[in-house]
Chain A
Amino acid sequence: METIKRVLITEPAKEVIDTLRKRFGSELMFHQSGGCCDGSSPMCFEKGDFKVGSQDVWLGEVYGCDFFMSADQFEYWKHTQLTLDVTPGRGSSFSIEIPMGIRFMIRSKLFTTEELKILSPVVTGEEKLSER
């Protein structure tokens, strides 16, 4: 059965990921932040640089990158479909695209009742890591 993805991506965001992969020579990952300042923005790291664990949720893969969020934050977000996008802007934080003068960002939409029934399954960060 086809499932509905929890995280989608725009074409401009894909291009940025391609550029970053080339520049860093490695695969990438995302962790959705919360809180102050640059919070509520997705953070992009080289794969494995940010340690996820049992209190993180893996929402799926987006353009080949694992996308995680802390479990308590996911409780408040899980009824919405996220789209990874990019905007010009000077963000702070350790997200690796920032020196390019751009910032990954999230756009959200509510899942429909039908979609909620067939959402792609999630696992914890710990479970995701042990799959390898």
Chain B
Amino acid sequence: MESFTLSQASPVESPKIKEKYDHFIGGKFVAPSSGEYFENISPIDGKVFSKAARGNKADIEKALDAAHKAFPSWSKTSAAERSKLLNKIADVIEANLEMLARVETIDNGKALRETRAADLPLVIDHFRYFAGVIRADESTISEHDENTVSIALHEPLGVVAQIIPWNFPLLMATWKIAPALAAGCCTVVKPAEQTPTSIMILMELIGDILPPGVLNVVTGFGVEAGKPLASSPRVAKVSFTGETTTGRLIMQYASENLVPVTMELGGKSPNIFMKSVADADDDFFDKAVEGAVMFALNQGEVCTCPSRILVHEDIYDKFMDRVIARTKAIKMGHPLAEDTMMGAQASKDQYEKILSYMDIGKQEGATVLTGGAEASLNNGLEEGYYIQPTIFKGHNKMRIFQEEIFGPVVCVTTFKTTEEAIEIANDTMYGLGAGLWSRDAHELYQVPRAIQAGRVWVNCYHAYPAHAPFGGYKKSGFGRENHLMMLSHYRQTKNMLISYSKEKLGFF
């Protein structure tokens, strides 16, 4: 039996996408100084659909010039004005949601139903959230004695560098851009090589809302554009989402410049299903089954992909039978078809990497419960990067249980006791996300507290509201994204320590 279901609908029309896109610097589209562009391949069919400017150090310097020029006035722009502009950006994106959702699908390969229902709505809400919080944000003041007052005032850091991943190109850009702009920083953004187009189409829509230089986007390769940006002494902070080696390299550069960094470096998130989950075959049980199949969201290309299912051994059969059936019902097909549930992996090398993990999983003795190979689709999708949603059964010491595959692959193992579940959950280098499913009120609090991860979803998974802080423990990085606490990542504290006394100390 097939391990997935084929979608039936025809793809919707592609929006008009230009042959090539320039950088966005100082409020204008600017051709790359090298004159060179690189091909952007759509994962849908493996074909070139546009080109992106091949940025280099000269382009980065130009963007930094523009950002530094804009900062003195942007940093003093009133909260009301900044809020108004962020809201305007949100309104324009909302008015163009369908077009942007389609572009994002073509650029990244993910299913349209996800870009429509998750990526773009979250982008809009994140801009609105940060537009809102800065209106209510306040600094603090303390009276130390009747003549001494301390004011702790927020000041924006300055010009920041933001390096964006390719799994949610527009949303991850927004997670970084919205709080930086809200805080009064100017930014130079470097999108990922695999997905440089959707953000440029976004800039065509929102570019003239902000003063020139406040938001600059330079596309290009990591070694040619990312490195000069991350290592520049002219940036006040580097925010990075990606993997551990590049994270360390960016910290190495930051140590030379003595600037702060925030790092979001992925995870190997456990999704724990306690025995009580199967106490009844009801709506909650059904929700938990869906929670386990969430590994297939975004083709598994999520830092918090619930890639390890830990299920109580007594409910294994009942629960996993249902999870396997639900996984097989995932509809694969053209990502622009409205009924497609899972699209293409973002690039050819990701596709190859995922297949290499299937190989090592089998070598290590893991059992394939469903999937376990590429998905050969036809009707023009033959050259696209499609992989069957896959469930392995094995144990937590296997490499497929320890490494972020970043594909639609989940590994299941069982536990006998709560202690064992916690031990397995924490036996990982990472600590970004986790899930806990239970009907027991005590477990609902105690187990999440024992899991070393920055976000524990309790009886839910893969929700990313702007209002909840997100970030990692352990090797998953540090710093948070989302939530108003994000503002503090883009600001420093000016302390004014004021004396209202006219009397000298008498020391000198």
Q: Which residues of chain A come closer than 8 Å to B244, judged between CB atoms?
A: 33-35, 39, 70, 73
List which A61-94 residues lie within 8 A (CB) of chain B.
70, 72-73, 76-77, 80, 87-94
| B349 in contact with A88 (CB, 8 Å) | yes
Whole-angstrom distance from the CB of A38 to the nearest CB of chain B? 5
| Closest beta carbon of chain B to A15's beta carbon, Å | 17
Contact check, B475 vs A98: say whether CB atoms are below 8 A apart.
no
Within 207-249 of B, Cβ neighbours of A (below 8 Å) are at 221-224, 226-227, 241-249
Q: Assess the B243–A105 pair: CB atoms within 8 A.
A: no
- B221 contacts A99, CB within 8 Å? yes
Whether B245 pairs with A40 at a CB distance below 8 angstroms is no
Chain A, residues 34-65, CB within 8 Å of chain B (1/0): the string is 11111111010100011100000000000000
Evaluate contact between B241 and A72: CB separation under 8 angstroms. no
Q: Which of B281-305 contact A (CB under 8 A)?
A: 301, 303
Contact residues in A for B166 (Cβ distance below 8 Å): 37, 92
A17 to chain B, nearest CB (A): 15
| Contacting pair A105 B356 (CB below 8 A) | yes
Residues of A within 8 A of B356 (CB): 105-108
> Which of these, A37, A41, A96, contacts B241 with CB under 8 Å?
A37
Interface residue from A33, A35, A92 paired with B193 (Cβ < 8 Å): A92
Whether A6 sits at the interface, judged by CB under 8 Å, is no
Determine if B177 is an interface residue (Cβ-Cβ < 8 Å). no
Check B349 against A91 for contact (C-beta < 8 Å).
Answer: yes
Query: Contact between A36 and B265 (Cβ–Cβ < 8 Å)?
Result: yes
Query: Contact between B399 and A80 (Cβ–Cβ < 8 Å)?
Result: yes
Per-residue B-contact encoding for A8-49, CB less than 8 Å = 1, 0 else:
000000000000000000000001111111111101010001
Contact of B406 among A40, A95, A110 (CB under 8 A): A40
Contacting pair B242 A35 (CB below 8 A): yes
- B399 engages A108 (CB within 8 Å): yes
Query: Taking the complex as formed, is B184 at the interface, i.e. its CB lies under 8 A from any CB of chain A?
Result: no
In angstroms, Cα B169 to Cα A29, docked, is 30
Do residues B222 and A109 form an inter-chain contact, with CB atoms below 8 A?
A: no
Contacts of A103 in B (CB 8 A): 349
Q: A35-B244, A39-B406 are in contact. Are A51 and B252 (CB under 8 A)?
A: yes
Q: Known contacts being A50-B249, A51-B252, A72-B429, is A94 close to B243, with CB within 8 Å?
A: no
Interfacial chain B residues near A72, Cβ < 8 Å: 429, 475
Inter-chain contact A90/B193, CB cutoff 8 Å: yes
Chain A residues positioned under 8 Å from B429 (CB to CB)? 34, 72-73, 76
Q: Please give the distance in Å from B262's CB to the nearest CB on chain A.
A: 14
Q: Is the pair B248, A90 in contact by a Cβ cutoff of 8 Å?
A: no
Q: Mark B346-388, 1 if CB is under 8 A from A, else 0.
A: 0111111100110110011000000000000000000000000
**Chain B nearest CB: distance from A124 CB in Å?**
15
Please tell me if the beta carbons of A93 and B406 are within 8 angstroms of each other in the complex. Answer: no
A33–B301 Cα distance when bound, in Å, is 16
List the B side residues contacting A33 at CB < 8 Å.
243-246
* Chain B residues, CB < 8 A from A34: 243-245, 266, 403-404, 429, 475
In the complex, chain B residues 16-65 whose Cβ is within 8 Å of any chain A Cβ: 38-39, 41, 54
Chain B contacts with A in 393-428, Cβ cutoff 8 A: 397, 399, 402-406
Q: Could you tell me the distance between the alpha carbons of A6 and B349 in the complex, rounded to whole angstroms?
A: 23
A8 to chain B, nearest CB (A): 14
How distant is A119 from chain B, measured CB to nearest CB, in Å? 17
| B167 touches A (CB below 8 Å) | yes
Is B127's CB within 8 Å of the partner chain A? Answer: no
Contact between B404 and A93, CB atoms less than 8 A apart: no
Whether, in the assembled complex, B197 has its beta carbon less than 8 Å from a beta carbon of chain A, the answer is no
Contacts of B476 in A (CB 8 A): 35
**B339 partner residues in chain A, CB cutoff 8 A:** none
B430 interface residue, CB < 8 Å from A?
A: yes
User: Of all chain A residues, which has the CB nearest B363?
Assistant: A110
Are A32's CB and B245's CB within 8 A?
Answer: yes
Please tell me if the beta carbons of A40 and B403 are within 8 angstroms of each other in the complex.
yes
Residues of B within 8 A of A40 (CB): 243, 353, 357, 403-406
Do the beta carbons of B223 and A87 come within 8 Å of each other?
no
Q: Is the CB of B399 within 8 A of A77?
A: yes
| Residues of chain B lying within 8 A (CB to CB) of residue A109 | 360, 363
Please pick, from B226, B349, B397, the residue contacting A87 in the complex, using a CB distance under 8 A: B349
Q: Give complex CA distance A93, B242 in Å.
A: 8
Show 6 residue pairs from A and B whose CB-CB distance is below 8 angstroms, ordered by the A residue.
Answer: A35-B247, A35-B266, A37-B243, A90-B347, A99-B38, A108-B360
Ranked 10 nearest A-B pairs via Cβ: A36-B266, A89-B349, A39-B243, A35-B266, A89-B348, A33-B245, A103-B349, A94-B222, A35-B243, A35-B265
Given contacts A39-B242, A92-B192, 8 further A-B pairs with CB under 8 A are: A35-B242, A35-B247, A37-B192, A38-B246, A43-B246, A50-B249, A98-B221, A98-B222
A positions within 8 Å CB-CB of B = 31-41, 43, 45, 49-51, 70, 72-73, 76-77, 80, 87-96, 98-99, 101, 103, 105-110
